[in-house]
Chains A and B, each alone.
Chain A
Amino acid sequence: MPNPDAGGHWGEFGGRFVPEALIAALDELEAAHTAALADPAFMSELDALGREYGNLPSPLYLAERLSEEAGVEVWLKREDLNHTGAHKIRNVLGQALLTRRMGKTRIIAETGAGQHGVASATAAAYFGLECTVYMGEEDTRRQALNVARMRLLGAEVVPVTTGSRTLKDAMNEALREWVASVEHTHYLIGSVGGPHPFPMLVRDYCRGIGDEARAQFLERTGALPDVVAACVGGGSNAMGIFTAFLDDASVKLYGFEAGGDGYGTGRHAATITAGQIGVLHGARTFVLQDEDGQTIESHSISAGLDYPGVGPEHAHLAASGRAAYEPVDDAEAMAALEKLARTEGIICAIESAHGLAGALRLAKSLEPGARVLVNLSGRGDKDMGNVVEYFDFADRKGQQG
């Protein structure tokens, strides 16, 4: 397993840029995680939980009609079929089980669109843990349905009114709260970002995506895919599917970042493409920042990709050339979302549509019949409000469609 160095660095990225007050908790977490991974009882409980509760392993699906149009074989890893509708259930079940193992009784989490918040609230309900979710006030308004879901599941939702009132500020607030409650509270972080050991730990709980897909792919085709593609915000679904393929030199890895209004407009969330190294939320990585190092607000139609940083292992994979990262703008992603719906009858999350759109763009430069594996990281139910607005699908008075 390609682990970081003892300080949590992949090359120049990662590490721990946090107050000393959190170091003991991070050390405890790292030790607990390492011991848990080596404990067959923990791993078998997690595995059973994934199968019986999470609906894992997720299927590998050859999208035949879409493949015909694309001119390459498009294989989808169907994480959209997981319980709570995305790959995120893997991360929260792993971390919640770890929380119980550490003897902690409460979890806190940050959320943007609310998907990680809902997943965290779900795991908290399952394990009988207290749960507080920090969510930017802007986002609580935009995603009222997910706020209702979290509250139904028994979580407390705290609207964050500082800064830009979005995901990055929710993360700031979760970190502040964690310093004060670290003795009995675990910070169930939602992506492969943050201080060491979080990027490694979240990857370890998400890597089942790629481990399963690699075995499924070999079984179905007798070969490995030529390309593996995923969307990248913080990057947990992408690390989840990339990890199994890192040592397969023939497999090209592509991460697709949110290009927002178009990379050239400056209104995007394409952190790696923009290429500025900095420190945000506890790790050195690529950061959208101004000349002084103040964080710049990101923009994307996809709330799950709308984040001005990225996991440090992705930064390293980009810098080392092992994976390539490209922007996909809102329009391309929404076109791919529509195409998948109409050719395959699958409505995916707008996040996942970025990965699919990037793969379809890439397909034009691949040999005919090349095999492309796309992580379909989540389903689109949560995005229907955006979809209605974007495609102008709503019935309007005086206009019959």
Chain B
Amino acid sequence: MRAEAAFATTRAEGRAALVGYLPAGFPTLADSIKAVDIMIDHGADLIELGLPYSDPVMDGPAIQRAADQALAAGFRTRQVFEVTEAVAGRVPILVMTYWNLVERYGVDRFARDFKAAGGAGLITPDLIPDEAGEWIAASDEHDLDRVFLVAPSSTEERIASTVAACRGFVYAQSVMGVTGARAATSAAAPELVRRTRAHTDLPVGVGLGVRSGDQAAEIAAYGDAVIVGSAIVNCYLDSEDVPAGHQRLAALTADLAAGVRR
């Protein structure tokens, strides 16, 4: 299932999509599968599985800690395909990954194995289209979405060339900074979405900083998708045990899902 399937539904319903992010293998391999099911059960329209990496320069403390925990427990790249296979079918599953892990696995081999597991595509935070020749070829070959990022600092030319390389949706990094839940979302986000729309009909997802249904509703007013990561990870980091984390995640997802439906 590709991203456009989810956006066809949300557009028909006249609302934004809710995208939930969780590192695969966090809080444990089995519980990351369970967590994704919880998110889907409570209204997530797309899922982003993070691939834990030793040097995540885009991520703030919460996602760093989650990735460290998964790696310390022995998480291997290939296990992201197990998680994908276990949760695929109900909503599109994308993997968000730093580029070295894909390059190391083999770009075409990664695309093939991810497609076979039922994956929709990749979000690549440290890969710009200028460096993505091999990935563009592999994603064409295996019919996968490819989501690149635009940022408030992007020039018009770069927004145009970046969205031209995207398939599925465009990821608008709404604040200049790393991932992490923030009390207030960025004022730069609506402007960035407006500038991005001038260059593409693809849905524009807005990420970085969302932690509540109210914030989700705010972003849903101008974005096509609300992307939530650190707040989801915090459900587990802030809980005494995994079952408590699952409960928090269910409540948070329901709140966010209500937010995008306001």
Contacts and interface: CB of A to CB of B under 8 A. Distances in A.
Contacts of B71: 294
A21 B162 contact: no
Contact of A24 (B98, B127, B131, B154): B154
B184 to A, nearest CB: 15
Interface string B132-158: 000000000000000011111111001
B126 A18 contact: yes
A293 B104 contact: yes
Interface string A19-51: 111111100000000000000000000000000
A179 B154 contact: no
B57 interface: yes
A179 B100 contact: no
Contacts of B162: 20
A225 interface: no
Q: Which of A18, A21, A24, A163 has the most CB of B within 10 A?
A: A21
A17 interface: yes
A294 B61 CA distance: 18
B53 interface: yes
B100 to A, nearest CB: 4
Nearest to A7: B130
Contacts of B222: none
B56 interface: yes
Interface string A270-309: 0000000011111000010101111100000000000000
A293 B77 contact: yes
B55 A295 contact: yes
Interface stretch (A91-99, A122-130, A168-176, A203-211): A168-176
Nearest to A161: B61
B208 to A, nearest CB: 10
A341 interface: no
B54 A24 contact: no
Tier of interface size on chain B: 35 or more
Given A7-B130, A20-B148, A20-B149, A176 B57 contact: yes
A180 B178 contact: yes
A16 B101 contact: no
Given A162-B64, A179-B176, A281-B55, A21 B153 contact: yes
Contact of A16 (B57, B58, B68, B128): B128
Contacts of A18: 57, 126, 128
A204 B174 CA distance: 35
A235 interface: no
Given A278-B103, A293-B104, A23 B154 contact: yes
A278 B104 contact: yes
Interface in A143-187: 162-163, 168-169, 172, 175-176, 179-180, 182-183
Given A20-B158, A162-B64, A182-B153, A293 B131 contact: no
19 contacts: A18-B126, A18-B128, A19-B126, A20-B173, A22-B153, A25-B153, A162-B64, A176-B58, A176-B178, A182-B176, A278-B100, A278-B104, A279-B98, A279-B103, A279-B126, A289-B100, A291-B104, A293-B104, A295-B54
Contacts of B64: 162-163
A130 B71 CA distance: 36
Tier of interface size on chain A: 35 or more
B190 to A, nearest CB: 17
Contact of A20 (B56, B61, B99, B128): B128
A280 B128 CA distance: 15
B149 A19 contact: yes
B130 A19 contact: no
A19 B105 contact: no
A190 interface: no
Contact of A19 (B55, B60, B103, B125): B125
Contacts of B128: 16-18, 20, 23
B177 interface: yes
A278 B126 CA distance: 13
Contacts of B125: 19
A15 B100 CA distance: 13
Contacts of A172: 55-57
A15 B134 CA distance: 14
Nearest to A293: B104
A112 to B, nearest CB: 15
A163 B55 contact: yes
Contacts of B131: 7, 15-17
Interface in A201-219: none
A287 B176 contact: no
A289 B104 contact: yes
A20 B151 contact: yes
B154 to A, nearest CB: 6
B61 to A, nearest CB: 8
A293 B105 contact: yes
Closest 9 CB pairs of A and B: A293-B104, A21-B151, A180-B177, A279-B100, A24-B153, A294-B54, A175-B57, A295-B54, A293-B100
A203 to B, nearest CB: 21
Contacts of A279: 98-100, 103, 126
A271 B222 CA distance: 47
